[in-house]
């Protein structure tokens, strides 16, 4: 443990499972207090308990990031629980794929809402605190950096067949990243995106096509997840490193944008794909 994030506070959406969980654990292990979020209370509380058992600090903020009031509630949880906010990781999301002629308005709107509108609301909710804190710190002659890491995808960088909604949403979050890097630079807030390639999670695990019973419950709707085993092999064969990444490796790339060594890095999209552009 390097304690580079000692006394800092991070909010990580979708951190009860998968990549988000590993991000929360990684930041906590380096000293940050964490606000853990998940749709369901059980996984969120499990991560909180794990962080506390390891000597860290954490609280849960359960609920859907797409709720209109969630951004305000998420930020307030950090401020009320720990008195400050230093790091925002917009990680929550899922895929709901289809070719465009079969894609419904519901599919399009749902993916845009969770991957673009939800992060926008969270960042807007934090804006007053960031601005006021930066003003007070500047008056005191202090230079304090804060970090935003938005989770994108290679689909948002180069597109992907069957993912018009997801590709558009992840491209949009990169645009939001670059815009806020310009707006918030004067407040010493670094805003970057991490665009993941194939990372092994429950959303991408290999499952037989017709026999795939793996689903995600979103607002009472069962959405199929998983990747056909042959397709998974084909995708991995195109990755120079020859395999999918792990959630721990994914978390490591987010961590790079949170530590002091990246204080002069902002407005960037880092592709994390094992050598595949």
Residues taking part in catalysis: 166
Do 215 and 224 contact (CB within 8 A), yes or no?
yes
Q: How far is CA 83 from the centre of its chain?
A: 22
CA distances to 174, 183, 211, 269 from 178, in Å: 6, 9, 41, 9
Q: Which two tokens stand for residue 127?
A: 């804006």
Buried b (16+ CB within 10 A) or exposed e, 244-258: bbebebbbebbbebb
Do 192 and 149 contact (CB within 8 A), yes or no?
yes
HSE (side-chain half, CA atoms, 13 Å) at 49: 6
């Amino acid at each position: 443990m390097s304690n580079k994030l000692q006394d800092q506070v991070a909010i990580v959406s979708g951190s009860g499972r998968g990549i988000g969980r590993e991000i929360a654990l990684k930041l906590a292990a380096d000293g940050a207090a964490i606000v853990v979020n998940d749709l369901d209370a059980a996984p969120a509380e499990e991560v909180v308990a794990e962080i506390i058992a390891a000597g860290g600090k954490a609280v849960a903020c359960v609920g859907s990031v797409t709720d209109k009031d969630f951004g305000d509630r998420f930020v307030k949880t950090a401020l009320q629980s720990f008195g400050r906010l230093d790091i925002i990781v917009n990680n929550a999301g899922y895929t709901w794929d289809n070719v465009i002629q079969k894609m419904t308005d519901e599919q399009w709107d749902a993916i845009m809402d969770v991957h673009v509108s939800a992060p926008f609301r969270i960042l807007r909710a934090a804006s007053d605190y960031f601005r006021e804190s930066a003003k007070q710190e500047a008056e005191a002659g202090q230079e304090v950096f804060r970090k935003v890491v938005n989770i994108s995808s290679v689909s948002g960088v180069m597109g992907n067949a069957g993912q018009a909604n997801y590709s558009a949403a992840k491209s949009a979050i990169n645009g939001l990243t670059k815009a806020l890097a310009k707006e918030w630079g004067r407040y010493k807030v670094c805003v970057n995106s991490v665009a993941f390639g194939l990372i092994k999670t429950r959303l991408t695990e290999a499952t037989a096509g017709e026999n795939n019973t793996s689903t995600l419950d979103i607002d009472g709707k069962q959405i199929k997840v998983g990747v056909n085993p042959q397709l998974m092999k084909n995708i991995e064969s195109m990755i120079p490193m020859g395999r999918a990444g792990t959630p721990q490796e994914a978390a490591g790339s987010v961590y790079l944008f949170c530590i002091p060594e990246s204080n002069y890095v902002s407005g960037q999209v880092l592709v994390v794909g094992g050598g595949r552009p």
